[in-house]
Amino acid sequence: MPSEGTELTPSANILNDDEIIRLATLFVKNGVNKIRLTGGEPTVRKGIVDLVGRLKELRQHGLKSIAMTSNGVALHRKLPGFVENGLTHLNLSLDTLDPFKFELMTRRMGHDAVLRSLELALTMSSLKSVKLNVVIIRGLNDNEVPKFLELTRSYPLSVRFIEFMPFNGNKWDKHKMIPSSVLLDRVLIIHPDLYKVSDEINDTARSYKIPGYRGSFGFISSMSDHFCGSCNRLRITADGQIKVCLFDSREVSLRDLMRSGAQDDDLLKVIRAALGLKKEKHDGMEDIDVVNNRPMIKIGG
């Protein structure tokens, strides 16, 4: 959260549930088999549990998984309903295991609530995977990597260390970014017997395991080692814009098209045109447009 806060988007500008289901149906019928609800923070949306249930109905058209990325603060109250309505994969965002540092970084209390959500998720056998997303910032939380690794000793948890990325409002500084290769070298000093595990074809993380540990860990190297060539992700923002890359400031409004009466074929033409703008790889961290692109907290999706 930027220190100055953020201006709230008028609710009329946000996609309503029917619009989300219309777009989700269109994408699933054209080959998309995984949908992730992400943020901002998806659990603050009214009716979000019922929306997950409506997405579940798309399994008849080929949808295989419904995932969510959450900050976990309010999740523990809604998680049973999410799972009952079809949630299959969960990612929790937690950048520190220190409650005081947590309050400094997030500008709010709630560290205990996030851990409660994590503990609850790990007891739910219906969830096919539980992952912890940790953005590493030099001098702030990079010394906590060993502590996060210890979480994988007893739990079937995947911890993913994410390189600090440039967005409007997050006080980006390239010197705060630690390349994943440097972190891996540090881990190897502590666990020289770790080994690589196979990744899925379009996975964004390179994963490893420590012998005898139940879980795994990995690195998402968005800055130092682009995975753009195998990236098959698209994002529809909360206000209905299609983004083919998080770092591309160009957006096309599917919301405005739908509200002006566009048919599904018209939407597909625009979506395919947007896909045609997807680059082989995004700009280097020196050249990414952090001025015109949205801050991460306003991307949602």
Gap between the Cα atoms of 300 and 255, Å rounded: 14
Amino acid at 277: L
Residue 174 reports pLDDT greater than 80: no
Q: What is the pLDDT of residue 276?
A: 86
Strand partners, 163: 136
**Portion of the chain with pLDDT greater than 90, in percent:** 65
Tokens 């690195």 locate to: 219
296 band by pLDDT with thresholds 50, 70 and 90: low
Q: What is the pLDDT of residue 170?
A: 47
Residue 292 reports pLDDT greater than 80: no
Looking at residue 142, the DSSP 8-state letter turns out to be G
Gap between the Cα atoms of 148 and 216, Å rounded: 11
Average pLDDT over residues 83-102: 96
Alpha helices in the chain (DSSP H): 17-29, 48-56, 75-84, 99-106, 111-122, 145-154, 180-190, 254-259, 264-275
Gap between the Cα atoms of 199 and 219, Å rounded: 11
Tens-digit pLDDT profile for residues 29-71: 999 999 999 987 999 999 999 999 999 999 999 999 999 999 9
Residue 24 reports pLDDT greater than 60: yes
pTM comes to 0.89
Residue 162 reports pLDDT greater than 80: yes
Q: What is the pLDDT of residue 6?
A: 72
247 band by pLDDT with thresholds 50, 70 and 90: low
What's the gap between Cα 243 and its chain centre?
14
Q: What is the pLDDT of residue 200?
A: 72
Across the chain, what does the average pLDDT equal? 87
